[in-house]
């Protein structure tokens, strides 16, 4: 590991040489099948004391036939964090203890961000990320296990490293050509490397972690961090995970669950093994980095009344749109809101009548954005938990026009004709719209509710 110093506070958890709590996935099989499957999976997991051993990519792909005899590590993810006990056993072995499964993703997520120097848990441990050593009385070292990456053999589980340099403001990634050159010299065991960029020559020192301009002597910090691999996006590759296939009534999406006649709406938690979870996850994190925010849960919103209104509106609009316009009519857009308002939206839908509460730059309607980081600005955190709410909504944008603050409806095609058809929505910029405003509640549906929180330097396990 490379970087600054990291401060760990580990809470009270019982660990042994191979601590592997069970994963929680949604399976389509019987409970007994799941129970035996989990037992079988747990029996295969193990790590080894020796350094320099890779995680078994075949195990992750359910292709390892060696079971507990495999000389490589068997872990649930292609990365795994451990702490080493300072005091050896009577046989002279220093035992490595795995962090709890719940902490693995969180620590990896924070470690992948070069902006972060420290993290905190309960009872303090300080770890130097340059040497992965600690001055704690119980633990003396930390290590990160990973799937090996070599020219001869690279798998989808192999760690991809990025090398950064720090300017006066933030960490910046090296150009791809320079990064490959530095990575090659590092893997080859060199203590230093030299490269030329834009007619400037630089020296890189891997021991002291700096880049130096050879001519003027200016030094910059450097860091090497892995590219974060989310367990959510890894699920299709982890062959021991099977997706569920819930059934629903034919008039509504097949993923919907049955509802009672008195239920206005239903929030259904989406399992991490479901394709929908991965899709929403990817869209959200496209502009909200995984190293800055973490999704706590995703709910599919089932509201039959709102769904019927939306589908009727979609059918009506489709009759007067061209084929090309129909293909771009329905968008999946983000809408940030408060936790209190989220429940009302699930029941009553987005209400254009209260749009002026936050912004009316492009009209007095309901606002939706292509980028989740824009909608994040309107997702106020819960005072107690810090959780934020954001919808991924279905929105019928149709034909759109440039928005204006005074608009209470889309403008007409022909301003001189009182009976002229209207545009369907307003946007911030007609050449490349990022924000859409609709004035009719039938043109949107609260498809998925995302609950998330921002990451800080505290890791709770």
pLDDT tens digits for range 192-223: 999 998 889 999 999 889 999 999 999 999 99
* CB neighbour burial string for 96-121, b if at least 16 within 10 angstroms, e if fewer: bbbbbbebbbbbbbbbbbbebeebbb
Say whether pLDDT at 279 is over 80: yes
DSSP state for residue 7 in the 8-state scheme: E
Bridge-based pairing of strands 366-369 and 435-438 is: antiparallel
- Residue pair 78/55 in contact (Cβ under 8 Å)? The answer is yes
306 conformational bin, left if phi > 0, alpha if psi -120 to 50, beta if neither:
alpha
DSSP state for residue 423 in the 8-state scheme: P
pLDDT at 50: 92
* 402 HSE (CA, 13 A, CB side): 3
Q: What is the arrangement of strands in the sheet containing 219-226, beginning at the earlier edge strand?
A: 171-173, 161-166, 219-226, 210-213, 200-205, 192-197
Instruction: Check if CATH label 3.40.50.300 holds for domain 243-454.
Output: no
Residue 301, Cα to own-chain centre: how many angstroms? 21
State pLDDT tens for residues 341-367: 999 999 999 988 876 555 689 999 999
- Residue pair 144/109 in contact (Cβ under 8 Å)? The answer is no
Task: Give the pLDDT band of residue 1 (cuts 50, 70, 90).
Answer: very low
Tell me the percentage of the chain whose pLDDT exceeds 90.
51
pLDDT at 37: 39
Say whether pLDDT at 3 is over 70: no
pLDDT at 456: 84
pLDDT at 107: 86
State pLDDT tens for residues 69-121: 889 999 989 999 999 999 998 888 899 988 877 778 888 988 898 888 766 65
C-alpha to C-alpha distance for 144 and 121, rounded to whole angstroms: 18
pLDDT at 154: 65
C-alpha to C-alpha distance for 393 and 310, rounded to whole angstroms: 11
At which residue do the structure tokens 């097949």 appear?
254
**Mean pLDDT of all residues belonging to the chain:** 83
Classify domain 161-226 at the CATH topology level: 3.30.720
C-alpha to C-alpha distance for 239 and 118, rounded to whole angstroms: 34
DSSP state for residue 78 in the 8-state scheme: S
The SS3 of residue 353 is: helix
Which two tokens mark 98? 């795995």
At which residue do the structure tokens 């970087």 appear?
3
Helices marked H in 216-302: 231-234, 275-285
What is the number of residues in the chain?
Answer: 461
Task: Give the pLDDT band of residue 64 (cuts 50, 70, 90).
Answer: confident
Which two tokens mark 283? 């869209």
Which two tokens mark 29? 């099989």
Q: Where are the domains of the chain?
A: 5-146, 161-226, 243-454
Say whether pLDDT at 140 is over 50: yes
Helices marked H in 70-219: 101-111, 176-187
Bridge-based pairing of strands 293-302 and 192-197 is: unpaired
Task: Give the pLDDT band of residue 322 (cuts 50, 70, 90).
Answer: confident
C-alpha to C-alpha distance for 275 and 252, rounded to whole angstroms: 18
C-alpha to C-alpha distance for 60 and 81, rounded to whole angstroms: 16
Q: Residue 57 contacts by C-beta under 8 Å, 6 or more apart in sequence? A: 78, 147, 148, 155, 157, 158
Least confident of 282-296, 310-324, 362-376, 424-438: 310-324
The SS3 of residue 107 is: helix
Q: Residue 432 contacts by C-beta under 8 Å, 6 or more apart in sequence? A: none
Q: Which residues pair with 162 in a beta bridge?
A: 225
Least confident of 211-215, 267-271, 317-321: 317-321
C-alpha to C-alpha distance for 149 and 192, rounded to whole angstroms: 21
Among 39-43, 170-174, 255-259, 449-453, name the most confident range. 449-453
Task: Give the pLDDT band of residue 457 (cuts 50, 70, 90).
Answer: confident
State pLDDT tens for residues 423-443: 999 999 988 899 999 999 999
Task: Give the pLDDT band of residue 36 (cuts 50, 70, 90).
Answer: very low
Q: What is the arrangement of strands in the sheet containing 79-85, beginning at the earlier edge strand?
A: 5-9, 124-128, 133-134, 139-146, 79-85, 96-98
Residue range 302-329: mean pLDDT, rounded: 89
What count of other Cβ atoms lies within 10 Å of the Cβ of residue 428?
A: 18
The SS3 of residue 131 is: coil
Residue 157, Cα to own-chain centre: how many angstroms? 17
CA angle 335, 385, 267 (to 5 degrees): 50
Alpha-carbon Rg for the chain, nearest whole angstrom, is 26
Task: Give the pLDDT band of residue 47 (cuts 50, 70, 90).
Answer: very high
């Amino acid at each position: 590991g490379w970087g600054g110093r990291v401060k760990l506070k580990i809470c009270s958890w019982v660990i042994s040489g191979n601590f592997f709590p069970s994963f929680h996935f949604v399976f389509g099989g019987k409970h007994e099948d799941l129970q035996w499957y989990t037992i079988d999976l747990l029996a295969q997991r193990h790590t080894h004391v020796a350094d320099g051993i890779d995680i078994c990519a075949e195990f992750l792909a359910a292709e390892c036939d060696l079971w507990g005899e495999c000389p490589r590590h068997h872990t649930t993810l292609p990365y795994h964090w451990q702490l080493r006990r300072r005091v050896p056993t009577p046989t002279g072995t220093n035992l490595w203890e795995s962090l709890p499964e719940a902490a693995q993703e969180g620590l990896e997520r924070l470690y992948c961000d070069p902006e972060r120097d420290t993290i905190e848990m309960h009872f303090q441990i300080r770890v130097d990320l340059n040497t992965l050593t600690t001055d704690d009385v119980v633990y003396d070292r930390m290590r990160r296990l990973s799937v090996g990456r070599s020219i001869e053999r690279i798998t989808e589980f192999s760690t991809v490293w990025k090398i950064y340099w720090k300017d006066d403001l933030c960490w910046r990634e090296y150009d791809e050509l320079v990064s490959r050159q530095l990575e090659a010299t590092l893997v080859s065991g060199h203590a230093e490397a030299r490269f030329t960029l834009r007619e400037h020559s630089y020296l890189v020192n891997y021991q002291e972690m700096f880049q130096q301009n050879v001519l003027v002597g200016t030094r910059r910090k450097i860091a090497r961090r892995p590219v974060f691999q989310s367990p959510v996006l890894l699920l299709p590759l982890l062959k021991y995970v099977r997706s569920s296939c819930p059934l629903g009534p034919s008039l509504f999406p097949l993923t919907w669950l049955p509802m009672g006649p008195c239920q206005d709406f239903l929030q259904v938690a989406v399992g991490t093994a479901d394709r929908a979870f991965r899709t929403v996850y990817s869209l959200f994190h496209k502009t909200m980095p995984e190293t800055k925010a973490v999704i706590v849960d995703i709910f599919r919103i089932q509201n039959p009344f709102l769904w019927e209104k939306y589908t009727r509106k979609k059918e009506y609009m489709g009759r007067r749109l061209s084929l090309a316009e129909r293909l771009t009519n329905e968008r999946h857009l983000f809408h940030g809101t408060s936790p209190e308002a989220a429940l009302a939206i699930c029941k009553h839908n987005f209400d254009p009548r209260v749009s002026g509460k936050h912004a009316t730059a492009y009209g007095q309607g309901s606002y939706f954005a292509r980028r989740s980081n824009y909608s994040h600005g309107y997702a106020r955190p819960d005072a107690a938990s810090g959780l934020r709410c954001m919808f991924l909504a279905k929105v019928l944008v149709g034909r759109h026009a440039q928005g204006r603050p005074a608009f209470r409806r889309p403008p007409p095609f022909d301003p001189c004709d009182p009976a002229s058809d209207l545009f369907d929505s307003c946007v911030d910029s007609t050449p490349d719209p990022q924000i859409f405003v609709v004035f009719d509640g039938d043109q949107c549906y609260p498809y998925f509710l995302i609950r998330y929180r921002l990451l800080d330097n505290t890791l709770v396990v």
